[in-house]
């Protein structure tokens, strides 16, 4: 641990697939292929081992199509998405949801319960005001923010697993699955690839990555994670992962700077405010490893809100999960050292 650490994990992770470790597969017949497409407001990268270009091409198409299908279900940007349709139609009456949307909402509600609402999939009205604020470079008006916060709250979202229905307590509620959907999409794309006979693959949707079987002849997919506590090293920490997922959350990518304060795109539901810190200080950057992307993604957002102490306590309660939390210092959960090797 170092007090010099700075929170720039997100970028390092997104670009941190170590290239030298990917091409040296001893298994003769399977080759590495890679493709990138824009989906879910970001670039999604897939790497996979296939028997040849024809198999790889078909696999990429199927995996990216599955991600596009999920975007159509889960997006809060697309007016015609299933999620937005449900926001319009499920007010005070149960409406049937598709399996993907229901799965994401169920996981969100479970996480909301475990975090006392720090993760909240109903924050849409407030999240939209902060999105606007980033565009106009002005803080949201406090009265407007208060009104929007009145239309949020995970206890106002009701799921019936037996009937797979969704119901909202009041009009004007807006679901936003931005904190969990990319991790789920990465899982879903991997599943499609496995169904097509491709086990060795990884899917990276910006800061949310999911890994299948290791590359042929290797122990895992190697990715670099850097908290810049050792500036002389290219990557301070190397993860070698298979059948696992890793997600990073933080304010590195989307934020609003006003009068020396930096506001994150991640909102603290208790205040309706973007997580904030002085622009001269370090924000929080969280990396989570879990078996599935849906969990790693949701947990990374939740731990960002909870902060290092409560966040690490949450991770210790999750079977098999590990966390690295970087603020002006670095905190590792108890399982973190066993999944990471240092350069």
* Alpha helices for the chain (secondary structure H): 9-14, 53-74, 82-89, 99-114, 124-136, 142-149, 181-195, 293-316, 336-339
Among 7, 117, 179, 250, interactor with Mg ion by CB under 5 A: 179
- Tell me how far CA of residue 135 lies from CA of 130, 254, 269, 337, in angstroms: 9, 11, 21, 40
What span, in angstroms and rounded, lies between the C-alpha atoms of 247 and 252?
Answer: 14
* Smallest separation, CB 273 to ligand AMP (Å): 11
For Mg ion, the closer CB: 6 or 182: 182
Q: In the numeric block, which tokens belong to residue 11? A: 């970028």
For ligand AMP, the closer CB: 29 or 116: 116
Confirm or reject binding of residue 297 to Mg ion (CB under 5 A).
Answer: yes
Picked from Mg ion, ligand AMP, none, the partner binding residue 120 (CB below 5 to 8 A depending on kind) is ligand AMP
For ligand AMP, the closer CB: 55 or 206: 206
* Smallest separation, CB 231 to ligand AMP (Å): 25
Please state, as a whole number, how many other Cβ atoms lie within 10 Å of the Cβ of residue 170: 11
Contact 301, 180 (CB under 8 A): yes
Contact 291, 273 (CB under 8 A): no
Confirm or reject binding of residue 179 to ligand AMP (CB under 6 A).
Answer: yes
Q: Which of 336, 301, 300 is nearest to 316 (CA)?
A: 336
Rounded CA Rg of the chain: 20
Q: By CB under 6 A, how many residues form the interface with ligand AMP?
A: 17
Confirm or reject binding of residue 305 to ligand AMP (CB under 6 A).
Answer: yes
Confirm or reject binding of residue 104 to ligand AMP (CB under 6 A).
Answer: no
For Mg ion, the closer CB: 181 or 193: 181
Among 187, 295, 297, 332, interactor with ligand AMP by CB under 6 A: 297
For Mg ion, what does the binding mask look like between residues 299 and 318, x meaning CB under 5 A? -xx-----------------
For ligand AMP, the closer CB: 33 or 119: 119
Confirm or reject binding of residue 283 to ligand AMP (CB under 6 A).
Answer: no
Please give the residue whose beta carbon sits closest to Mg ion in the complex. 301
Dihedral, 298, 302, 304, 310 alpha carbons, nearest 10: -140
Using CB under 6 A, list all residues that contact ligand AMP: 119-121, 123, 127, 176, 178-179, 249, 265-267, 269, 297, 300-301, 305
């Amino acid at each position: 641990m170092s007090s010099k650490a700075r929170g720039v994990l997100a970028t390092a992770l997104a670009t941190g697939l170590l290239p030298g470790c990917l091409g040296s597969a001893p298994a003769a017949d399977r080759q590495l292929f890679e493709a990138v497409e824009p989906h879910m407001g970001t670039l999604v990268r897939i790497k996979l081992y296939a028997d040849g270009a024809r198999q790889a091409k078909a696999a990429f198409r199927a995996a990216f199509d599955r991600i596009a299908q999920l975007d159509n279900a889960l997006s809060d940007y697309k007016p015609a998405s299933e999620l937005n349709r449900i926001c319009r139609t499920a007010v005070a009456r149960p409406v049937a949801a598709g399996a993907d949307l229901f799965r994401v909402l169920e996981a969100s509600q479970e996480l909301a319960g475990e975090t006392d609402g720090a993760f909240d999939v109903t924050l849409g009205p407030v999240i939209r005001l902060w999105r606007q604020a980033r565009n106009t470079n002005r803080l949201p008006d406090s009265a407007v923010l208060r009104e929007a916060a009145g239309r949020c709250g995970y206890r106002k979202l009701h799921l019936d697993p037996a009937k797979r229905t969704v119901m909202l307590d009041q009009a004007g509620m807006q679901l936003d699955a931005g904190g969990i959907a990319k991790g789920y999409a990465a899982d879903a794309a991997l599943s499609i690839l496995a169904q097509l006979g491709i086990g060795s693959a990884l899917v990276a949707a910006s800061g949310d990555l999911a890994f299948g079987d290791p590359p042929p002849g290797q122990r895992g997919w190697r990715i670099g994670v850097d908290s810049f506590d050792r500036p002389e090293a290219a990557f301070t920490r190397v993860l070698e992962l298979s059948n696992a997922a890793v997600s990073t959350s933080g304010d590195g990518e989307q934020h609003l700077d006003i009068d020396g304060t930096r506001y994150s795109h991640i909102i603290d539901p208790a205040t309706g405010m973007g997580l904030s810190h002085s622009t001269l200080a370090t924000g929080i950057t969280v990396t989570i490893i879990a078996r599935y992307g849906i969990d790693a993604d949701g947990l990374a957002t939740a731990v960002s809100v909870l902060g290092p102490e409560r966040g690490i306590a949450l991770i210790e309660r999750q079977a098999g999960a590990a966390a690295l939390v970087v603020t002006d210092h670095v905190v590792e959960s108890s399982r973190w050292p066993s999944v990471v090797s240092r350069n």
